[in-house]
Chains A and B, each alone.
Chain A
Amino acid sequence: MNRMRVFSYCLLCLVTVWLAACAATPTVPPPGGAGKAEAVPAPAPQPPAREPVPPPQPKPKPPVVEPMPAPVKHPEPAPVVDPPVPPGPPPAAVKLEAVLFEYDAFTLDAAALEALERIYQVLAKEQGTFEVEGYCDERGDDRYNISLGESRAQAVVNWLVARGIEGRRLKQISYGREFPADPGHSPEAWRLNRRVEIVPAGSPGPGVRRRAAGN
């Protein structure tokens, strides 16, 4: 109990010193208003409420001269118009099936391997380069999904190269959860959207292809 009291007095002293320090800070802000941070000062000791005293009649004062920040001219940001992308070679007339994946996975299951074997048979007879596009369903995180789609595309490229397709003919890219093959929000739509699409290099982009497909 005694120790508690000593501790309390110590606290009291500390706080009193601190209060005194606070009270010593000027109550009138420095020129410029808020140039410096300071605690809001304690109110000056006020007499207890009395009969209303008429407020002091101010003499007409000269206009307050305060340092004011000069107005800054702000140019409006102009949208950057990028030069149009040069058209690629005409796309070859080859259409390949999609390779599908399980949720949050880029491993090739039995169905994917069967699809890849059929894709290999077509690619082996074709010339030219192909884009290997990775996609995800809409449920995951945007950013993680771009990496996941990249891993899916990479898994497909690795398998095809191991099977015998030249690596330089395949270029992977991921669009994450953009450009769904099926715009729905059902488990079936998600199943179709977790995919890798392989298209001839120079084909219209996925946005254009999706619009052409009506979604």
Chain B
Amino acid sequence: MDEGLSVRDLTFRYGDVHIADDESFDVPRGGTLVVTGGNGVGKSTLLYLCAGLVAPHSGVVTLNGHVPVVDRPSHLVRKGVRIGFLFQQGGLVSNLNVLANVKLGLRYHADLFNLTDKAIDERAKEALDRVRIADSELYAMPAHLSFGTRKRAALARAIALQPNFVFLDDPDAGLDTMTAKIVGDILFGLRDDPEVTSVVCTNHRALIEAIGCSTKELCAGSLLAQTYRRVE
């Protein structure tokens, strides 16, 4: 399968902890996979492997038919693969303010996306507006923000690149109801976008049911199929 995410014979271990044991699965273009599993089974690592951020010990991951290069992730962007990754703790660059964090990826690929400084600014502010970051917080440093705001800013950074692959690691963990709704609305929008392939890691039952897509449980290095009813 060329379009979407394809994982073939993936193996990865942290010492004795098996994250993936010869696993193979596909998520077609526009599809969504939800991964559940107990604490410490390696859900986040599986996401890193799928996004090409970490090299597997063996096996191949392809995104729209392209194999990621860990040391040169810009290679994927040049091939038309744009990744949006929401890390569990946000992962904002600590020495850049919120706006600069969102603009960074756009500035780095400005020639590729034909973006002027004004367009970069507009697109970054638009993404921040979608996650309801107030203007007064645009120039705040990540350390001065609440966890929820940091996570929303990280989501803004992920969607600013208009990704065609989205990886969300515990997207609503530690968020209040309002912030979780903002994140949820964006997540559902991405799920329904036929161009966006998504993988979501969560143990939150209500979110899994709301997403209502194919769900697999990661257990001792294997992905076991599960089924949840979609709640409209």
Do A and B bind? no
Instruction: Give A contacts to B, CB under 8 Å.
Output: none
